[in-house]
Each structure stands twice: as C-alpha cells, then as structure tokens.
Structure 1
Amino acid sequence: MPRPARFRPALTRRARLGAATVAALVTGTAVFGIGQATAEHSVPRTDKEIPNLTQVQDKIKAYYGDTVTADGEHHASPHSNYARQVRGIEAEARGYLSKALAQHGRTGKQGKEGKQPKPAIVLDMDDTTLLTYNYELQVGFHYTEESQDQYLAHHDMAPVFGMNRLVNWAHAKGAEVFFLTGRKEAQRDWSVRNLKNVGYDVPLDAGHVYLKNKEHPPAYLPCGATCTTVEYKSGTRKHIESLGYHVVANFGDQYSDLNGGAGDRTFKLPNPMYFLP
C-alpha cells in the first residue's frame, strides 16, 4: 500500500492477488494440483491452470494464523507460520547488523566532504514494519485509496512481529533509521502516529520518514511524479546516502522495495497478500 499510479486501472486488487499467487506457483512456492500456469502459459489455457481464489485466501489466513476478536477485528497470530518466518529473517538481519555496525567504524571509507558516512538502515512501511493484515481482511483484499485513508485515520496497524524491537536495537547500536514508503504524503501524520504508538522509538521527522509526494516530487528524483516504485525507492536511498549516510541494510516486503542498488544487503519480508511491481 498504497498502489495508485503504478498500476493499470483495469487490474483490480483481487486480480492482483490472483496474479501474485500464479507467480508463486511458477516459482514453486505453492502447489495447487497439476496443470498450474508456467512461463510458457502466462495466459492460462484452461481453468485448471488458475488456483481457486477462495482457497488461496483461506491458505493466506491459515498462514497468518487468523484470529478474530469479539469486535470482528482480524489479527495475525504470533504463533503462526508467518510469525515464525519473520522471526527467522529478523534473526539473520540481527546477526548481519551486529557485524556490519561493529565493522563500520573501522572501514575508513570516506563519504561526503571527506567524512566517514554514518551507517543507516532503510525500511519500507506496509508489511515490513507495519502489518496490514487486519486492513486486508476488512476490505476483502480489495485495496482502494478511500478505504486505506479511512482505515489509517482511525486505526493503528500492529507492528510486523518483532520489527519494532529490531529497529530500536539497530538504532541503539548506531544505525540511523529511515522509513521509505509508497504511502502518499497526505498520510504522513497517520503513519507517524502509528509508528510511534506501536513502539518504534526512533526519530520520525520528515528527514527520517519519506512518503511519496506526487504533487511536489523532490528535485533529487529525475523521474518526478512518474517514478516507478524501483526508481522512487532506489532514488531516495541514493539521496539518503548523498546526505552522508551509508545504507548497510534495506528491508522490504516487495522486490520493488529492494531493487535498484544503494544498499549493501537486502532483507525480504514475506507477503502473500499482494504484489507490487
């Protein structure tokens, strides 16, 4: 989230869910019987090449350990396979950052004005640091700008399991923390409130939280308001590095969060709910 300009208007969120699942089948991450779509059959020839959407949603809920509270809110379980997978990625990231941050001061690498750049980590927001699961269930996996605005204005999303602790730990170890999201600039106050309320105890000013500003795109992005996700995110990371930082790790739930360079190591968080090119 959000997914405005970078999608074809005819491609609904529900269709994107199906497309992402087909992509998963192609890479072998899930199997729904024989005859699934292949690279040669990118346009399915029969219905047998398409996983049933209702069954896919049921599998997603099982993966997240869907728990429904008395007020009808859906929550992911900390005992779910999703939570276990996230914890494994966080453990790998912590091990890497322990070494990278300890070694950074001894590299002698020179940055802006001959000064050694300060180590930094960059993190996406939705489904990297904040979990959209409850929102997705409320809207039936059918994202709209209006429903997202309504949700963010009145709800705080839970943190992705353990990510607030990892971020706070990295900051205490000397990493500057930057959030880089495709959410629109108009959602800044809601986003910052949410991060603060769920335990991200790091600077959350405009210099540390980057949102997409299509009306007034920053000068450091040559593509302006027409940037693809990769151009927007990699261009912003390069801008961060130009300010005297060295991105030692970049976290995202989409490959478009991670591609494009400007970062030593990438960490991909799981997200079977939607796909953003």
Structure 2
Amino acid sequence: MSRARLSRRSLALTAAAVTLGATFYGVGAATADNSVPRSDKEIPNLTDVVNEIKAYYGDTVDASGEHFASADSSYARQLAGIEAKATSDLAHALHKGGHGGHGKPAIVLDVDDTSVITYNYELEVGFNYSPASNQAYLDSKNMPAVFGMDTLANWAADQGVTVFWITGRPESQRADTVRNLTAVGYKSAPDTDHLYLKDKVNPPAYLSCGSTCTTIQYKSGTRAHIESLGYDIIGNFGDQYSDLSGGYADKSFKLPNPMYFLP
C-alpha cells in the first residue's frame, strides 16, 4: 500500500448489505463526509466506534495478544452472503458464455481486506497506518485469509478461471505479498503475470498516468490491460469503491470494511 493511499484513511461505520444495481453488489457505501460538525454530538465517539468494529469482527485475542476476527462474527456472515451471490453469478457467467465466449474468463481480487484481513495490524497501530509499521508487520507475520475468499478463488480456478490480484501495495512488498497469499491457501500462483503491485518508480507503459495514477486510474487501467491480453473479467472483488470503479469488469463485488475509507 502506498503512503498516499493510506494517509487519507478515515474510520467508517458498517453499512447494511444491499444490491447496488445490476453489475455492482456488496455493502452500502461508506463515504468520507467533509462537512464541519456544528456540535460534538454530531461526532461519533472514537472509543465507541472502535468497540463497535471489534464487536462486528467478533474480536478474539490469543495467548500472545494477537487479535483475530471470528468465523461466527457478523463480518463473516456478511461475507458469506456476498460470496454466495458472487459464486452463483460467476457460475452463471461461465455457463452462459462458456470458456472463451468474450475472452478467457478471469477474476480480479484486491489484496488487503479482500484476500487477506488487516484487522490485527489495524488494532496494533490504532488504525494509524505508516509505511514503516506496515512493512515491519509484513516482514514478521502473515495476515489471515478473508473468510471464504480463498475458497471462492480456488473454486474459480478449478472452473478454469484465471485469478489476478491488483493491489495498491508498493512493488517493494511483492515477496511479502506472494508469501502471505500462498501461506493462507490461495492455490493460484501469485506470480508477476498475475499479481500487480503499484510501481511508482518504473510504472508500466500501459498506464498513461504513469507514477501519478490515482487508485481508480491505476486499478481500472490495469484491468483494461488484463482484458487487452485476451481475458474477460467476469468478477472484480474489492473492499473499497476505488477498487471497483472505472469499468473493465462484467460484475463487481464490494466486500465489507468498516475500518477505513480510501477514495
């Protein structure tokens, strides 16, 4: 993840699961409100918000003090509903289009809080990301798989769907990302042809915005590149609307994340 992407994080409350049109499915929008509060009563109490987030994730602490989300939490149940819808839609797309109707079928996954969950890291740093703390965490720990997403990705691969990842993590975190995805059960190879990280030093030629790309430009431009290689992205998965905006996907699925908002 880049500094620019995460320095603009803001806590957001969980919204209920809703269908967002024919090609956009997931949870309700959590947007940054830039209006100035007129009273302290208009500002959620930060301690209360953190406690609500912990309750939503079913906070579990192990003997070493590590925090984990619970498999029977509201978070896990909400994910299961979205993943069931996605699996049904992907199966329908494969049945309707076959393998190669409009290109080779593919899905795209974001990494943080789409493929792996950052919950423990966020609590460690008090929801205050820094490149140094994030790198230190990734150097020493693996983040768990987001409940059900490894199963969904592996199922898709078994159906002949190619799995790609597009993440805002910097290119310098490639080795950590590959290790983590592999360790927590993603069977598709997250190699250089299937795992795209943000390279501001040597941006790819297919991104006309180069090193100045916004998240939406970077991710949609990379999806356009994937489709130019002969793939049809039948499903795009992310926990931020910036993961999903900009086109180049038949359907997009928004996963829940009340911990931060990235424009």
CA RMSD of aligned residues (A): 2.1
User: 1:46-195 counterparts in 2 under 5 A?
Assistant: 46-105=39-98, 108-109=101-102, 117-195=103-181
Structure 2 distance, partners of 1:107, 1:119, is: 7
Kept in 2, the 8 Å contact 1:181–1:211? The answer is yes
Q: Which amino acid aligns with 2:3?
A: P
Structure 1 partner of 2:185: 199
TM (norm. structure 2) is 0.90
Change (3 A) 1:207 1:214: same
Structure 2 partner of 1:33: none
Kept in 2, the 8 Å contact 1:3–1:276? The answer is no
Unaligned stretches of 5+ residues in structure 2:
17-27
Answer yes or no: is 1:4 the counterpart of 2:6. Answer: no
Unaligned stretches of 5+ residues in structure 1:
31-37, 110-116
SS of 1:5's equivalent in the other structure is: helix
Larger radius of gyration: 1
Structure 1 distance, partners of 2:227, 2:203, is: 18
Q: Deviations over 1:77-123 (max 9, x none)?
A: 001000000011110011111111122227844xxxxxxx1010000
Answer yes or no: is 1:222 the counterpart of 2:208. Answer: yes
The partner residue of 1:258 within 238, 241, 244 is 244
Kept in 2, the 8 Å contact 1:178–1:209? The answer is yes
Kept in 2, the 8 Å contact 1:251–1:268? The answer is yes
Structure 2 distance, partners of 1:248, 1:205, is: 21
SS of 2:248's equivalent in the other structure is: coil
Structure 2 distance, partners of 1:106, 1:197, is: 29
Structure 1 distance, partners of 2:110, 2:183, is: 17
Greater RCO (CA < 8 Å, at least 6 residues apart): 2
Structure 1 distance, partners of 2:210, 2:101, is: 35
SS of 2:3's equivalent in the other structure is: coil
SS of 2:246's equivalent in the other structure is: coil
Q: Which amino acid aligns with 1:48?
A: K
SS of 1:251's equivalent in the other structure is: strand
Q: Which amino acid aligns with 2:242?
A: S
Runs of 4+ in structure 1 off by over 6 angstroms are none
Change (3 A) 1:106 1:70: closer
Structure 2 distance, partners of 1:106, 1:265, is: 17
Kept in 2, the 8 Å contact 1:101–1:174? The answer is no
Shift of 1:204: 1.3
Q: Which amino acid aligns with 2:111?
A: M
Answer yes or no: is 1:232 the counterpart of 2:218. Answer: yes
Q: Which amino acid aligns with 1:157?
A: M
Shift of 1:43: 1.2
Structure 2 distance, partners of 1:204, 1:271, is: 23
Structure 2 distance, partners of 1:211, 1:229, is: 11
Change (3 A) 1:69 1:148: same
Shift of 1:24: 6.3
Shift of 1:5: 2.4
Structure 2 distance, partners of 1:79, 1:263, is: 31
Identity over aligned residues, as a percent?
61
Structure 2 distance, partners of 1:106, 1:262, is: 18
Shift of 1:203: 1.8
Structure 2 distance, partners of 1:24, 1:42, is: 20
